[in-house]
Structure formats: structure tokens, C-alpha cells
Amino acid sequence: MSTDDGRASAGGSLTVVVALGANLLVALAKTVASAITGSASMVAEAAHSWADFGNEIFLLVADRRSVKERDEPHPLGYGREAYIWSMIAAFGIFTAGAVVSIAHGIQELFSPEDASDFAIAYIVLAVSFVLESFSFTQAFRQARAGGKERGTSTGYYALTSSNATLRAVFAEDAAALIGLAIAFFGILLHQLTGLAVFDSLGSILVGILLAIVAIVLIDRNRRFLVGEAPDSGLRNDVLVGMLERPEIERVTYLHLEFVGPGRVFLVAAVDIVGDDTETTVAIALRRMENELELNEHVEEAILTLAVPDEPSLVPAQRKRQASDDSRPDDTTANAAET
């Protein structure tokens, strides 16, 4: 079984470290540029980058704490810590990024400051775009690899993956690139028209963008904290894998729930082949549980006996085959039409 997410791995940590370094350089450059130019959009971008830099620290904490081995006080491990710290980072985007940018933009609408040295702003925006692109490329490659393995698009994988740090970096870097474009056009229109309102609107739009990203990330982390089930494809793969075991005749119940990045809690009701004694069956169930937990993606497995009159779960592939068998072939269908 593979969740295609993996635990908070070295690859995930590398993505966060790259984003951390890029955001620090970008934040410093934007802060200097905003002080020199007085641009409202540049101030919003500086707030955005400092918020992202602080958030990457939370994401590093999430990566480190979520991989701790389970213990007696935490029988399902520490995986959900990834969603706690990622949610804190998302709140940081909302407060330090969105609120500051929108508030500053509104302030500039009513009390605009003179802006100058536009060339410096353009240079900083260009350098920032290069650095943010480098960081986004790292996150995009990781998301693309996961999406390819799961058979989904890169964006969908980043949004729905149980890897909270990858989702956060992917969303933050994508928002950063869009925010840079907004800031560029806000400053350019300010320079061409002499109207500071465009610069102020740029700051407000950057803030709205960050608010949307923050709300999406908060909601995704909330879903995993309260118990998110894997998609139907992964559930079907697990069901197929269990039915391939020679000891299991059928499965009547299957519960899968993410308890961390790439880690699931598995509960299943199975019918054992044969009619052994209670003791023999208990030993067989415990042995299968231990074997399932050898998979790095299974945090804990609990198996129980199925009730005889419960319907069996059928893998999707078998359902399609059964449907095809019951459907007349093209020759028969054409003959019937004739």
C-alpha cells in the first residue's frame, strides 16, 4: 500500500528549507525597496514575504514533530502535529500577510504617500520573481511526482495530499508569484498615471489573495484534524491488497483515516478462510495486524471478524468486470438491433 504522500520526508523538508531561504532573501529586498520607494504594493509584498518566512519556520517544526514514533500517550503517533503547525502557519498568512496588506492599502487610499525610485521596485520584483520561482519549482516537482503516481493533476494533488507542508509551500509560493504580478501592475500604473490609487489597490488585492490562500489552507488542515479519509483510489488499492492475502476470504468493512502525512489508521472486518478455533483465529488476526503495520504508511491496523450476513466489499475493478460480463458484446448488440 502506498499513500503517495510519504511521511514528512527529506524531500518535504528540502522543499521547506528552500522556501525558507528564498523568502528570507525576498523579504529583506522588499523591505529595503518599500522604504526607498514608498510604494504601497511593495509594503504589502514585504509583509507577505515576512509572513511566509515566519510560516516556513512553523512548517519545519511540523515536519520534525510529525515523524516522532508513537508512544503510550499517543497510540496513533504524532502525525497530526503537522496539521496543527500548518494551521498556525496559515493563520500567520491571514494576520501578518492579508490583514496588514489590506489595512495598509486602505490607509494609502485616503492618505497616499509620494512614491519614487520606481526602477528599484522593478529590480526587486524581478529578483523576487526569480527566487520565488526557484522555490515554487521545488514544490511543484514534488507535487507533480505525487500526482503522477496517484494519477491526478499536480494542483489537485497539492490541494488534497495529506502532506501539509507541501500543500502550504505550494500554495504560498504560487500566491507569491501572483502577488508579484499584481504589485508590478499596481506600481506600473501608478508610475504611468501618477495616481497612487493603483498602488493602493495593488496592496489590497495582494491582501485579498493571501486571505483566500489562508482560508483554503486552514480548511484543509481542519479536515485532516477531524479525520480525513483517503480517496476512493487508495481505499480500493487497500481493499485489493487485503483480498490478495491467502488467509482472507472476504472483507465486509474497511475504515481508513489519515493520522498524519502519509499515515493511516486501518480498521477492517474480515472473514478468515476455514473454520478454525477461536484461539487460532485470534492469533491469525493479530499476526495480520502486525504484518499490515510493517507497511510504513499504516500507523495502526485493527482487524475483527465479519458477521456472516454482512455484504462483502468488492474492489472497483471487479465491479467493472462484473458489469462488463453482464453487458452483451458489440456483435450481440448489433444483432439485436437488426
Task: Provide the CATH number for the domain around residue 258.
Answer: 3.30.70.1350
Q: What is the pLDDT of residues 221-248, one digit of tens each?
A: 999 999 999 988 889 989 999 999 999 9
Long-range contact set of residues 288-295: C-beta below 8 Å, sequence gap at least 24:
288/245, 288/247, 288/248, 292/266, 295/1
Cell readout for 296 is 510504513
**Does residue 216 lie within any of the structural domains?**
yes
Residues 239 and 221 placed together within one structural domain of the fold: no
Cα–Cα dist 109/40, whole Å = 9
**263-272 and 298-305: which strand pairing?**
parallel
Mean pLDDT, residues 195-203: 88
pTM, whole model, 2 decimals?
A: 0.80
Please list the residues that pair with 266 across neighbouring strands. 256, 301
Residues 215 and 297 placed together within one structural domain of the fold: no
Cell readout for 292 is 499490515
Cα–Cα dist 84/154, whole Å = 24
Q: For the domain that residue 193 is a member of, what is the CATH number?
A: 1.20.1510.10
Please list the residues that pair with 257 across neighbouring strands. 265
Q: Give the domain-ending residue among 192, 207, 226.
A: 226
Count up the domains in the chain and report the number: 2
Question: Domain residues for 93?
Answer: 10-226
Select the more confidently predicted residue: 65 or 336: 65
Q: Give the domain-ending residue among 193, 211, 226.
A: 226
Residues 62 and 127 placed together within one structural domain of the fold: yes
Contact 115, 33 (CB under 8 A): no
Average pLDDT, the chain: 84
Q: What is the pLDDT of residues 299-323, one digit of tens each?
A: 999 999 998 888 999 998 655 554 5
**Does residue 5 lie within any of the structural domains?**
no
Residues 299 and 324 placed together within one structural domain of the fold: yes
Give me the percent of the chain exceeding a pLDDT of 90.
Answer: 35
Cell readout for 120 is 528599484
**Does residue 59 lie within any of the structural domains?**
yes
DSSP line for 45-65? HHHHHHHHHHHHHHHHHHHHH
pLDDT score of 5: 58
Cell readout for 148 is 503522477
pLDDT at 334 over 60: no
Q: Give the domain-ending residue among 202, 226, 250.
A: 226
Residues 48 and 136 placed together within one structural domain of the fold: yes
Confidence of residue 10 (pLDDT cuts 50, 70, 90): very low
Q: Which residues of 191-225 are buried (b: 16+ CB within 10 A; e: fewer)?
A: beeeebbbbbbbbbbbbebbbebbeebbebbeebb
